[in-house]
Amino acid sequence: MTGVREMSIVELDAALIDLSHRRRQALRAGRPTGDTAAIEARRIAIWNELRRRGL
């Protein structure tokens, strides 16, 4: 994931919240697994970056 390491804590937090909302909406709408998997992969990358920073 390019860009995750360059993002500030505030940007990472906002992206995480946005992706969580988008994931919930996709699951409710019954979107294909590929759509939700892409969102989930991005969420995991952001979580990993936050953990790497010790947050």
Q: Tell me the pLDDT band of 1, cut-offs 50, 70 and 90.
A: very low
List the one residue out of 45, 54, 37, 55 whose CA is nearest residue 15: 45
Q: 5-39: per-residue pLDDT in tens?
A: 888 989 999 999 999 899 888 888 888 878 888 88
Determine the Cα–Cα distance for residues 31 and 5; give it in Å rounded to an integer: 29
Residue 8 · residue 46 · CB < 8 Å: no
pTM of the complete model = 0.75
The pLDDT score that the predictor gives to residue 2 is: 54
List the one residue out of 29, 48, 30, 26 whose CA is nearest residue 38: 26
Contacts of 23 (CB under 8 A, 6+ apart): 36, 39, 40, 43
